[in-house]
């Protein structure tokens, strides 16, 4: 059995090797720091099982090159980087990792909200330069503010839990209403437009699909309050970056914008992209727009860190190994992408 792990850091390799041994999984096991792509797939085309992260692009062409492939395990909750439909056609299971970082991402979301509400970015910059003036650093309380949560899955529900603890009014938008958070935290489900109009803070917790592409766009972003705050710790293309840049230039979203993920983020995050001359012009444009907003005092951009704690990372690796074990012993993984 040939099992290849892509996008693996040194400490992750050690952790996975220990978990594989505990699970009794043996075979030809390889680890690489690079993501899987059409450019390197021929080096790994004999794999039976692969585990990838979001920067690997498991396209139809990649799948066709891997004739022995039987299982793809993505170490993420989202799986839009994999051609799941084609994998199904080929009889290949795709497993994903739900629930590994409900509290992790929710905590980071509130870290961003607090950082914007108390103007941490300009404050830290000033004090680092020896400037201790309070001018322009007046913040806001979260108590009594209205937070709009777009997407009330595991993470969104945990955000509601934290917001309730801060004494906030909570609006939510989702196709499915969660009775538990309505009863526990007083969540009010409303339509998307109403949520945008009424919320002081809008935070997004949705997977990326065709239906969520540019869910926040240059048209509906204009519905938001002038001093509203926008947080995205979900997937980049759920928010149209052009719309955010336009809003900031016009003085809207004055409460601040925090993007842990944004369109074409790999151009800025992954060093290998910076050395390539074949980056599509549109992707480079999106990356440069994100780079523009990076310099604003009321904007925080982070390199896809919301999930990135040691605790959550270890849970991801443990679940990935469990999925492989379940496939080998039961014939299919537990969490199958649809």
Positions marked active-site: 235, 265
Sheet bearing 71-74, strands edge to edge: 28-32, 2-6, 49-52, 71-74, 93-95
Quote the CA–CA distance of 163 and 143 in Å, as a whole number.
9
Report residue 193 as tokens. Answer: 């437009």
Q: How buried is residue 236: exposed, middle or buried, by Cβ count under 10 Å (0-12/13-18/19+)?
A: buried
Quote the CA–CA distance of 89 and 308 in Å, as a whole number.
33
| Pick from 277, 207, 291: nearest CA to 245 | 291
Q: Give the largest Cα separation in the chain, rounded.
A: 64
Quote the CA–CA distance of 92 and 86 in Å, as a whole number.
9
Q: Length of the chain in residues, anyone?
A: 338
């Amino acid at each position: 059995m040939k099992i290849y792990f892509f996008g693996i850091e040194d400490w992750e390799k050690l952790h996975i090797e220990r978990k594989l041994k505990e699970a009794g999984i043996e075979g030809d096991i390889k680890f690489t720091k690079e993501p899987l792509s059409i450019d390197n797939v021929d080096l790994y085309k004999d794999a039976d099982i692969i585990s990838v992260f979001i920067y690997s692009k498991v396209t139809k062409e990649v799948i066709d090159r891997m004739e022995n492939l039987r299982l793809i395990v993505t170490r993420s909750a989202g799986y839009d980087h994999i051609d799941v439909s084609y994998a199904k056609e080929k009889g290949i299971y795709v497993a994903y990792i739900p629930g590994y970082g409900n509290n992790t991402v929710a905590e980071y979301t509130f870290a961003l909200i607090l950082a914007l509400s108390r103007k941490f970015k300009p404050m830290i910059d000033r004090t680092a330069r020896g400037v201790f003036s309070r001018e322009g650093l007046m913040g806001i309380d979260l108590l009594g503010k209205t937070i709009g949560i777009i997407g009330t899955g595991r993470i969104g529900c945990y955000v509601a839990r934290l917001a309730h603890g801060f004494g906030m009014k909570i609006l939510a938008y989702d196709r499915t209403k969660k009775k538990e958070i309505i009863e526990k935290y007083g969540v009010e489900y409303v339509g998307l437009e109403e949520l945008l109009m009424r919320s002081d803070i809008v935070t997004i917790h949705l997977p990326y699909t065709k239906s969520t592409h540019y869910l926040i766009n240059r048209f509906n972003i204009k519905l938001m309050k002038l001093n509203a705050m926008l947080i995205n710790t979900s997937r980049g293309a759920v928010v149209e970056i052009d719309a955010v840049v336009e809003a900031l230039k016009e003085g809207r979203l004055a409460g601040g914008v925090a993007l842990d993920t944004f369109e074409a983020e790999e151009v800025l995050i992954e060093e290998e992209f910076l050395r390539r001359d074949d980056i599509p012009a549109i992707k480079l444009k999106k990356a440069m727009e994100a780079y523009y907003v990076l310099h604003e005092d009321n904007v925080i951009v982070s390199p896809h860190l919301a999930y990135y704690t040691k605790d959550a990372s270890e849970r991801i690796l443990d679940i990935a190994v469990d999925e492989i074990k379940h496939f080998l012993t039961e014939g299919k993984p537990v969490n199958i992408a649809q």
